[in-house]
Amino acid sequence: MPLEAFAHSAPLTFGVELELQLVSLSDFDLTPASPDLMHLLKRKPFPGNVTPEITESMIEINSSVHTDYHALLAELQTIRDTLVAASDVLNIGIGGGGTHPFQHWSEQRISAKPRYQELSALYGYLAKQFTVFGQHVHIGCASGDDALYLLHALSRYIPHFIALSASSPFVQGHDSGFDSARLNSVSAFPLSGRAPFTLNWDDFANVYFAKMERTRIIKSMKDFYWDLRPKPEYGTIELRVCDTPLTVEHAAALAAYLQALCRHLLAQRDAGGEHAPAEDDYLVYNYNRFQASRFGLDGVITHPKTYEQLPLREDILATLDLMEPHAQALGSMDALLHLAAAAGDGGDAAFLRAQYERQGSAEGMVNAAVRRFRGERRMTRALP
């Protein structure tokens, strides 16, 4: 079946998906509460959308389509407040973070949705190990060619989003040494990583996708777990490298940063900029991705054009400054200021490690993360 046509979408519109943890408040382990939570949420209007995820200790929330950062932030806060109220009824906690620090994959239950059952049958234990939690951001594109241009032009900034969102330092009860250990679980899947280097939608849809479909390895775009992928049914590109942040405020800021970057890259292309995407840009891609995952904001990346070594935190701060005119035009300066502050204080991975030391246990760290998601930042900092 040919790949569907690339849908029309208003350029630079955006939306957010967040995968969230469902936590028992007795032992702070994950709990298979999604069926009960979904049933409860059906009784009242829900802003955005909420769906089950691959295991029953997860849910995914989806925002509406937005043009404005503040409107997106307000909706995400309303969604959070609705979820928190429902979780209080069920006596569970809801939290962000890219991994749960001590859950055991073998204890997870695969959700009843047919697609998840199929994935479990295909991937075996990897499906349960995929109990990790990410943020996806969609950016509207005027055409499939624009989508592919942005997809490859953004490759240089992928480490920014990994480091700024990193919130998964602990795995299976231990500090992994990575700021974003979640991406190691994603990389285990055979169709993960980077998209093929095509800049023309006709070539992508009618040559690459057609060949892949003939192999019978894939049936749809959902079968690709790329860091960035086009979504023709929505008319978007989808960024998939982010860990789920500990707060919806941080999630909204990351989305606004991506929107500003896309505006910048499109303007640069239209002005005849000299830095068009090239396949050789990917020579440094996997290593830069590793640096951001392993060391977070303290990583050192290699510029894909000049091969200059760049401290990642400094590169992020310089790029945030560069994005100011675009953020001013889009009304998202507050988002850039939020991210600059996060880059300065170490972000969510540093917060989780500090809470582990302060609380003296992984359970206390999870409790702090749950409170932080609720918006109880002062309460979190006041924990003994």
pTM of the model: 0.94
Separation between Cα atoms, residue 45 and residue 305, nearest integer Å: 49
Buried b (16+ CB within 10 A) or exposed e, 259-290: bbbbbbbbeebeeeeeeebeeebbebbeebbb
DSSP 14: E
Provide, for the chain, the percentages of residues in helix, strand and coil under a 3-state DSSP scheme, each rounded to the nearest 5: 50, 15, 30
Of the candidates 96, 267, 252, 284, the one whose C-alpha atom is nearest the C-alpha of residue 182 is 96
**Structural domains counted in the chain:** 1
In a domain, 4, yes or no: no
Burial class (CB in 10 A: 0-12, 13-18, 19+), 223: middle
Separation between Cα atoms, residue 151 and residue 140, nearest integer Å: 12
In a domain, 310, yes or no: yes
In a domain, 91, yes or no: yes
- Domain encompassing residue 175: 14-375
Q: What angle do CA 70, 156, 337 make, to 5 degrees?
A: 30
**Could you tell me the two tokens for 190?**
């055979």
pLDDT value for 275: 72
Alpha-carbon distances, residue 248 vs 78, 230, 314 (angstroms): 10, 24, 25
Separation between Cα atoms, residue 56 and residue 269, nearest integer Å: 44
pLDDT value for 48: 86
In a domain, 382, yes or no: no
Q: Which amino acid is at 275?
A: H
In a domain, 356, yes or no: yes
Of the candidates 352, 305, 309, the one whose C-alpha atom is nearest the C-alpha of residue 178 is 352
Separation between Cα atoms, residue 52 and residue 41, nearest integer Å: 12
**Could you tell me the two tokens for 204?**
């992508």
In a domain, 6, yes or no: no
Separation between Cα atoms, residue 33 and residue 20, nearest integer Å: 12
DSSP 192-218: EEPPP----HHHIIIIIHHHHHHHTS-
Of the candidates 141, 347, 307, the one whose C-alpha atom is nearest the C-alpha of residue 234 is 141
pLDDT value for 340: 98
Partners of residue 199 on adjacent β-strands: none
Of the candidates 53, 19, 38, the one whose C-alpha atom is nearest the C-alpha of residue 90 is 38
In a domain, 8, yes or no: no
Q: What's the CATH code of the domain at 257?
A: 3.30.590.20
pLDDT value for 255: 98
pLDDT per residue, tens digit, the chain (384 aa), is: 678 899 989 999 999 999 999 999 999 999 999 999 999 998 878 888 998 887 899 999 999 999 999 999 999 999 999 999 999 999 999 999 999 999 876 677 776 777 778 776 777 766 666 679 999 999 999 999 999 999 999 999 999 999 999 999 999 899 999 999 999 988 887 888 999 999 999 999 999 999 999 999 998 998 999 999 999 999 999 999 999 999 999 999 999 999 999 999 999 999 887 678 999 999 999 999 999 999 999 999 999 999 999 999 999 999 999 999 999 999 999 999 999 999 999 999 999 999 999 999 999 999 999 999 999 743 333 322
Q: How far is Cα of residue 313 from the mean position of the Cα atoms in its chain?
A: 19
Count of CB atoms situated within 10 Å of the CB of 30: 24
Separation between Cα atoms, residue 145 and residue 200, nearest integer Å: 5
Alpha-carbon distances, residue 320 vs 122, 207, 265, 344 (angstroms): 42, 37, 14, 13
pLDDT value for 128: 62
- The residue with tokens 């490759």 is 155
232 φ, ψ (degrees, to nearest 5) = -65, -30
In a domain, 224, yes or no: yes
Maximum C-alpha span of the chain: 60
